[in-house]
Structure formats: structure tokens, C-alpha cells
């Protein structure tokens, strides 16, 4: 079975991850699907989304899907050359906030953590089985301060685990520092 590469691009906030991943996607193929996980829930996020859209080539297909990214990868993989998922960090946030009311007990939090990580595992499986290249962008949040509240710590921990899962499965991993990509795997 022919499959594309799974490429993971990570780094801090405003490190140049998305721009780098977009350049990489353009180099890997003409047919690109931009899989956006962000939701425009406030004015600031609307501006961020507009900025991202403005710098993408007009012929790229944009699919906005905040939760079911594995399904999109499975559906679009045979039809395109590259899928750029931007970003894993927002996907985990969406999955976590989808179940926010259920974090009343430790047992429920553990069950939801398993559900979220299973969703990430399904996304990785879809990407590894895809005939096209899949680029996943994510923030490296583990280098910052420890959040002062339980939901923030849970989110940070989930991102750390999700990033590790994707990095382990990836063919190539890039870490961006101040706009400079460092290839750390592949």
C-alpha cells in the first residue's frame, strides 16, 4: 500500500509553525486540503482565522472541522496530495470543552481523557493509512508555566500526551524556534 508521510510541526506560540507547514504543503503538492480546527467564537479568533485564510493559496480547499478530523482525513486522503491539519492544540481544546460539564469527578475526567486520546489515536491511524501526505501542526505547551487551575493542567497534560503520540508515529518532526525549523526526526 502506498502512503504519504505523516509530518509533525510543533513549537511555541507565534514560532512560525503554521507558515512553515503551509510552505511545506505547497512544496509537497499542488492539491492541498487545509483542515482547520479553529472556531470563530469571538472577534479576536475571527481575525486570526482571516489572517490564516488570507495567506493560503486560493486553489487550496479549506475544510473547517473542529472535531471529526479522522473522518475528513479518510475522506479527503485519496482525493488530494496533502492534508494540512492546523491545529492539534485547538482540536484537543475542542474535544475537552465538548465535555466540559462532565469534569465533576476524577473518574469522569479520566474517562474523558481516554476518549480524547483515543480520538487522537484514530486521527493518527487515519493519517498513517492515508495515500496523501498529512502535516499536523501543534503547539508545544509543556515548556511554559504550570497552569493555576485543574482544567488548564489537564489541557496542558493532554496536549503533551497528544504531541508525543503524533511525534512517535510521524515520519518527520520539525520544531520551530523563532521562525527557524529544526528537524528533530526523520
Cβ 89 vs Cβ 138: under 8 Å: yes
Calculate the CA 155 to chain-centre distance.
Answer: 14
For 117, the 3-state DSSP assignment is helix
Confirm whether residue 56 is marked as ligand binding. Answer: yes
Confirm whether residue 36 is marked as ligand binding. Answer: yes
Q: Would residue 59 show up in a list of annotated catalytic residues for this protein?
A: no
Q: Please state, in angstroms and rounded to a whole number, the distance separating the CA atoms of residues 36 and 49.
A: 9
Confirm whether residue 185 is marked as ligand binding. Answer: no
Q: Which of 3, 52, 128, 161 is catalytic?
A: 52
Q: Please state, in angstroms and rounded to a whole number, the distance separating the CA atoms of residues 23 and 9.
A: 12
Confirm whether residue 16 is marked as ligand binding. Answer: yes
Confirm whether residue 31 is marked as ligand binding. Answer: no
- Residue 143's contacts (CB-CB under 8 Å, 6 or more residues apart) are 12
Confirm whether residue 53 is marked as ligand binding. Answer: yes
| Placement of cell 472556531 in the chain | 39
Q: Please state, in angstroms and rounded to a whole number, the distance separating the CA atoms of residues 59 and 56.
A: 8
Confirm whether residue 17 is marked as ligand binding. Answer: yes
Confirm whether residue 55 is marked as ligand binding. Answer: yes
Confirm whether residue 11 is marked as ligand binding. Answer: yes
Residue 51 burial (CB count, 10 A):
10
Question: 135 - beta bridge partners?
Answer: 7, 84
Q: Show binding-site residues.
A: 11-18, 36-38, 53-56, 64, 86
- For the annotated catalytic residues, the residue numbers are 52
Q: Show binding-site residues for GTP.
A: 11-18, 36-38, 53-56, 64, 86
Amino acid at each position: 500500500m502506498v502512503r504519504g508521510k505523516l509530518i509533525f510541526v510543533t513549537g511555541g506560540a507565534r514560532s512560525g509553525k503554521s507558515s512553515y507547514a503551509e510552505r511545506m504543503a505547497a512544496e509537497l503538492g499542488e492539491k492541498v486540503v487545509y483542515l482547520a480546527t479553529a472556531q470563530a467564537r469571538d472577534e479576536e479568533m475571527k481575525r486570526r482565522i482571516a489572517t490564516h485564510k488570507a495567506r493560503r493559496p486560493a486553489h487550496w480547499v479549506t475544510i473547517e472541522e473542529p472535531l471529526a478530523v479522522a473522518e475528513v482525513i479518510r475522506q479527503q486522503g485519496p482525493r488530494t496530495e496533502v492534508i494540512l491539519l492546523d491545529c492539534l492544540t485547538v482540536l484537543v481544546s475542542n474535544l475537552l470543552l465538548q465535555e466540559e460539564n462532565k469534569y465533576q469527578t476524577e473518574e469522569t475526567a479520566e474517562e474523558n481523557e481516554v476518549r480524547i486520546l483515543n480520538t487522537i489515536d484514530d486521527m493518527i491511524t487515519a493519517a498513517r493509512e492515508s495515500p496523501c501526505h498529512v502535516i499536523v501542526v501543534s503547539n508545544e505547551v509543556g515548556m511554559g508555566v504550570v497552569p493555576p487551575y485543574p482544567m488548564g493542567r489537564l489541557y496542558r497534560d493532554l496536549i503533551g500526551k497528544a504531541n508525543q503520540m503524533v511525534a512517535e508515529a510521524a515520519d518527520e518532526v520539525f520544531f520551530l524556534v523563532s521562525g527557524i525549523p529544526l528537524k528533530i526526526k526523520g
